[in-house]
A and B are shown apart, each in its own frame.
Chain A
Amino acid sequence: GENVEQHPSTLSVQEGDSAVIKCTYSDSASNYFPWYKQELGKRPQLIIDIRSNVGEKKDQRIAVTLNKTAKHFSLHITETQPEDSAVYFCAARGGSQGNLIFGKGTKLSVKP
């Protein structure tokens, strides 16, 4: 089945700097790669996603890139702000059941 590895597990940046979180997946049939943000005490919410037929997608300060050959995808946050502080989860959908398989999460701290 699918396996998703996520790095780093914790990331601390200064406000205004960029943050990059990387994930690798194992199932070459996976076709959908979302990123979820979970603020402290809140539910996970989708912030951006990418399909396997697209190499890059942007939405204001966040972007996701996908390299199907290497089976890895990354989240890029530019001009970070304190409200970006949260746990970020990458995921991949594949397999016969089509369930999302999540990475273990990255705790991002943005220091003012």
Chain B
Amino acid sequence: EADIYQTPRYLVIGTGKKITLECSQTMGHDKMYWYQQDPGMELHLIHYSYGVNSTEKGDLSSESTVSRIRTEHFPLTLESARPSHTSQYLCASSEYFPGLAGNTGELFFGEGSRLTVL
């Protein structure tokens, strides 16, 4: 079944550690995103990508970095985690050209990775 998969779902880690949050999608979408969200709160776009070798910064400044080497894979990395990075990180994907052939560009979200930095 087409979906977006995020690992780990939960991560508790100490300050200064390097972490990578994995995101893979089998939706066949070109565009992918990372959102940061405190539980039930506002969704902040931190990174997005139009396709392979494309990465862009979102509206909220973030110390994290992303890469897009394969269409289906969009990992997020924090080189040195801090308590201020504690949050939920949601990966999402969509069609790149909404409006064509009736596509709306609907955003499909993964289940999220909840990060706690001690």
Contact = CB atoms under 8 A, between A and B. Distances in A.
A97 B9 CA distance: 29
A93 B43 contact: no
A59 B81 CA distance: 44
A101 to B, nearest CB: 8
Nearest to A46: B106
Contacts of B75: none
Contacts, number: 52
A64 to B, nearest CB: 13
A97 B98 contact: no
Contact of A43 (B58, B105, B110): B110
Contacts of A34: 104, 106-107
Contacts of B107: 34, 36, 44, 46, 100
B43 A44 contact: yes
Interface residues of B, number: 21
B43 A102 contact: yes
Nearest to B107: A100
B105 A89 contact: no
Contacts of B90: 43-44
Contacts of A100: 105, 107
Interface string B23-64: 000000000010000001111010010000000101100000
A32 B98 contact: yes
Interface of A: 1, 31-32, 34, 36, 38, 40, 42-46, 49, 51, 87, 89, 93, 97-102, 104-105, 107
Interface of B: 33, 40-43, 45, 48, 56, 58-59, 90, 98-99, 104-107, 109-112
